[in-house]
Amino acid sequence: MCADPRVSVEGRLPEPFLEPVVRLCEELATLHDVDGAAHLRVVPASGGVIVEASLDDGRVAMRRVQDPKQLRATAEALLVLPPPPPAAPPPPPAPTVPARDRGSEPRRTDGLGFGIGLSILARLSRAPSHGSAGVGVETSVRAGDWRVGLRLRWEPTEELLASAPPGFEMDTVGAGFAVTRRFVRAESASLEAGITTTLVNETQSAQLGEDERAGAQTDVRAGVIARALIGSAPWYFVPSLEAEVSPGRVRRDIRIDDALPPLPSWSIALGLGVQWEAP
């Protein structure tokens, strides 16, 4: 009755099912995605037939069919493999950063960094009032938001803003440390502030007739500093504001010589500089 070896018919089928079974055997070869390990068995049952599908691994499924028109649909449901699940959509591509924008990435806050900077200084010292100019150099190590720096400064030009002895000259050389912490961080700028300690050596001289009075004194200064780093790695523009005081000269005048002006006890300095920093 059925030439397809995958279908076997047992017993005498009801008359309405004979033609649908023959047609099923003929059309089975045209079905797509048929499980190659499935075998179909059709047996008569009360009021219709039972269609049984079995696999080589022992799994069996049965369906009762009472309407001949439902025979093919039932056989397809038992023999045809379900479609594979739809493939997951590919992940969206990662956004690319144009090369021209990479330089504006926020500065890193983790790890260690090394920096070296050079600045021009303008300082107002009191009392009496002195105006001075010079240069400063700093090398620093950064760890996260903290920075520790070794600082050197030289102010070769200092002028009394009031009357000065004839031929008066003064200069200052200093070395010290600064410890700062970054408090504000933006895309292309940051602000840090901290404390400083500096050992300075001040030299004064004046020509009083044929007699020259000169001398030097060493002093310790303590201060505070605030500065901004503007730009992107590795180069930054660095404006700074610093104030320092001499604890040993508060409320008393210290002179190198009686004929020379008192040494200043505090000062405020404005700095404009550049800094290279890596990484």
Q: In the structure, what pLDDT confidence band is assigned to residue 32 with cuts at 50, 70 and 90?
A: low
Beta bridge partners of 274: 118, 237
Q: Single out the residue in 30, 57, 79 at which a domain terminates.
A: 79
Same domain as 71, residue 180: no
| In contact, 210 and 192? CB cutoff 8 Å | no
| In contact, 191 and 184? CB cutoff 8 Å | yes
Mean pLDDT of the residues in the chain: 84
The whole-model pTM stands at 0.59
Same domain as 252, residue 147: yes
Longest CA span, the chain: 146
CA distance 200 to 221: 7
Query: Quick check: is 86 in a domain?
Result: no
Query: Quick check: is 265 in a domain?
Result: yes
| In contact, 191 and 203? CB cutoff 8 Å | no
Gap between the terminal Cα atoms of the chain: 84
Same domain as 136, residue 66: no
Same domain as 37, residue 122: no
Same domain as 75, residue 126: no
CA 237-240-242 angle, to 5 degrees, is 165
CATH code, domain carrying 20: 3.30.160
Lowest mean pLDDT among 12-26, 92-106, 151-165, 236-250: 92-106
CATH code, domain carrying 267: 2.40.160.20
| In contact, 180 and 149? CB cutoff 8 Å | yes
Cis peptide before 16 (omega within 30 of 0): no
Residues 6+ apart with CB under 8 A from 205: 167, 168, 169, 170, 212, 213, 214, 215, 260
Same domain as 17, residue 116: no
Query: Quick check: is 30 in a domain?
Result: yes
Tell me which residue range forms the domain holding 132: 111-278
Select the more confidently predicted residue: 272 or 16: 272
Beta strands in 76-188 (DSSP E): 112-126, 130-143, 146-160, 169-185
Mean of pLDDT values over 12-41 = 75
Same domain as 144, residue 196: yes
Lowest mean pLDDT among 44-48, 191-195, 245-249, 273-277: 44-48
Same domain as 126, residue 20: no
Mean of pLDDT values over 128-153 = 93
Same domain as 201, residue 144: yes
CA distance 279 to 275: 13
pLDDT of residue 107: 45
| For residue 177, pLDDT beyond 50 | yes
Same domain as 49, residue 135: no
Query: Quick check: is 99 in a domain?
Result: no
**3-class SS of residue 217:** strand
Strands 146-160 and 130-143: antiparallel
Query: Quick check: is 151 in a domain?
Result: yes
Same domain as 74, residue 115: no
The domain tally of the chain equals 2
Residue 103 CA: distances (Å) to CA of 190, 216, 235: 15, 48, 11
Query: Quick check: is 270 in a domain?
Result: yes
Percent of the chain with pLDDT over 90: 41
